[in-house]
Amino acid sequence: MNPKGTNPVKDKKKTAKDYASYFQTTYQPPSLKDAKKRGKEEIKIVKDFVIEEELRTIGKGKKFYIRTYGCQMNEHDTEIMAGILGDMGYDPTTDMMEADLILLNTCAIRENAENKVFGELGHLKPLKVDKPDLLIGVCGCMSQEESVVNKLLKTYQQVDMIFGTHNIHRLPQIVKEAYLSKERVVEVWSKEGDIVENLPRVRKGNIQGWVNIMYGCDKFCTYCIVPYTRGKERSRRPEDIIEEVRHLARNGYQEVTLLGQNVNAYGKDFEDMTYGLGDLMDEIRKIDIPRIRFTTSHPRDFDDHLIEVLAKGGNLVEHIHLPVQHGNSEILKLMARKYTREHYLELVGKIKKAIPNAALTTDIIVGFPNETEEQFEETLSLVKEVEYDAAYTFIYSPREGTPAAKMADNVPMEVKKERLQRLNSVLNDISLRKNQAYLDTVVEVLVEGESKKKPDVLSGHTASNKVVNFKGPKHLIGKIVKVHINDAKTWTLSGDLIEEKAGVLEG
Ligand code: SAH
Ligand code: SF4
Ligand code: F3S
């Protein structure tokens, strides 16, 4: 590090810019204000991504380690960064201690997600003492927040690189800068960049693959930081998506999950055609790949055409993740979800009618500002009415810069925790009951690997996304097999493999 000028750490009035000019050469900080803007300008599709010759050997003999927090979007970004680093000569390692380059791909969705990252950075500090050449980078959604970048610059000297979600394709240049200047590099774009199509990637496994169909979110739910960290909605062209899914199918992948923060808005930004998620799914279902999933759906844009296409079944799985967030229309209004309890229930009714075996899952927030006991009880009653197969439940966490953060966070923590517990207990009862309905039936399971707890047990998912454990030989990993269910718990099903010999099923 090459300190310049007066040390701003000693001066409380100094801003991030002052820290920046003191601590590093490259400085492009985030701005939540800019991240909120939604311009009309067209997004360019770039297909000629290349890593310059001189950067292709920069990582030779060195190892990288990436820790990923947050959603599938981040998991997939990590696969891309692993691909880029591989093309720069780096080898992956699963042991953080032997890495020469460590990246934390972060999530900003709730305060505890951020605290985990700050905690991990604390653990990494001593590593730099033993290995002065170690590079530590923070990327992902937290890097898009001004307050986080300020905090990192001020108190986390061990961080060498900070970059965001819109410029992971700039990783080669950022790493080079960090090596050459030996100073901190901050490069965060608050305006989304182009869609870069041909980025390398190293996928985690060869059974299931993620495929981005769109980036960003324009919904601006009042509690949510994602529209600021991921930018405006941009859809990939259908032909590029279809080619990627075909490529996975050709390479033996059994399942594809189409990704977006709000996949139901897919295509709304196309100016040259009217084309939506229903149209895309109708084309993708013709590709020879056993299972196609998508996540996440916003109830508001879930249209009849999509329901019609999903009802065709085949490789379109009967699992729909449909976050409701709350069961009371007034709170939904405060959340700016733009649907009411009644609209949501009507949509669920339509889905259940068209796809009778549909498994529905959801996300729910408790303790949003002003949530009364009666309003919370409406969440409980909605959950009972829909009968979700499973749900992710969260305690509301104010995110700086979002509209809800200006509302008083006035539900006491004990009340939030108590509501969360009551909600989970209702959800768990329903999950158990739904799982028990599988007893004594035969399900098709995509075998994904060994069970985490018992290595002699294989584990996988049904098309409806139920976890199934059973004993069987390892060569079945990556295949779809039939299992007779004989035990049902709240989270998992277990059973016996039905051996298939010469086309004859043996129980
Ligand atoms: N795009 C998806 C979800 C993105 S975030 C959707 O719209 O459904 C995943 C979940 O985190 C959200 O569905 C919401 O339930 C939860 N979440 C988002 N912001 C939150 C906050 N500030 N506090 C608590 N939970 C939050
Ligand atoms: Fe966040 Fe709402 Fe967008 Fe989902 S739809 S990412 S909850 S703003
Ligand atoms: Fe987290 Fe960013 Fe995903 S905030 S949930 S990693 S889009």
> Each residue of 185-208: pLDDT tens digit?
999 999 887 899 989 999 999 999
Query: Residue 193: inside a domain, yes or no?
Result: no
Residues 360 and 458 in one domain: no
Counting from 1 in the atom list of ligand 3, the atom nearest the Cα of 230 is 7
Spatial CA neighbour of 334 closest among 220, 418, 417, 422: 220
CA of 5 to the centre of ligand 2 (A): 43
Name the residue of 71, 109, 420 to mutate for ligand 1: max ligand atoms within 8 A of Cβ: 109
Which helix (H) or strand (E) element contains residue 319? strand 319-321
**42 CA distance to ligand 1 centroid (A)?**
28
The residue nearest atom 4 of ligand 1, judged by CA position, is: 261
Inter-residue contact 326 to 355 (CB < 8 Å) = no
- Domain membership flag for residue 194: no
For residue 394, the ligand closest to its alpha carbon is 1
- Domain at 347, CATH number: 3.30.750.200
Give the closest ligand to the alpha carbon of residue 336. 2
Q: Is 224 annotated as a binding residue?
A: yes
Residue of the nearest CA to atom 1 in ligand 2? 224
State the virtual CA torsion across 183, 184, 190, 194 in degrees, nearest 10: 60
pLDDT tens, 216-233? Answer: 999 999 999 999 999 999
pLDDT category of residue 21 using cuts at 50, 70 and 90: low
* 152 in the same domain as 135: yes
Q: Identify whether residues 19 and 163 lie together within a single domain.
A: yes
Instruction: Select the highest-mean-pLDDT range: 16-20, 23-27, 128-132, 228-232.
Output: 228-232
Of the pLDDT bands very low, low, confident and very high (cuts 50, 70, 90), residue 16 is low
Q: For residues 390 and 18, which has the higher predicted lDDT (pLDDT)?
A: 390
For 459, residues 6+ apart whose C-beta sits below 8 A from its C-beta are 447, 448, 449, 450, 451, 452, 467, 468, 469
331 occurs within a structural domain: yes
Where is the domain boundary, 396, 414, 435? 435
- Please name every residue paired with 498 in a beta bridge, in sequence order, or none if there are none: 482
Shared domain for 431 and 457, answered yes or no, is no
Residue 107 annotated in ligand binding:
yes
- In degrees and rounded to multiples of 5, residue 14 shows phi and psi of -70, 150
Whether 57 and 157 map to the same domain: the answer is: yes
Query: What's the domain range around 131?
Result: 8-187
Cis peptide before 296 (omega within 30 of 0): yes
- The CA distance from 293 to 321, in Å, is 10
Same domain for 160 and 218, yes or no, is no
Nearest CA to ligand 1 atom 10: 363
Q: What is the DSSP string of 95-163?
A: -GGG-SEEEEEE--SSHHHHHHHHHHHHHHHHHHHH-TT-EEEEEEGGGG-HHHHHHHHHH-TT--EEE
- 306 and 358 share a domain? no
Q: What is the pLDDT at residue 17?
A: 58
This prediction's pTM: 0.92
Atom of ligand 1 nearest to the CA of 399: 22
Residues with CB under 6 A from ligand 1: 109-110, 223-224, 226, 261-262, 296, 298, 323, 325, 363, 365, 394, 396-397, 399
Q: Is 139 annotated as a binding residue?
A: no
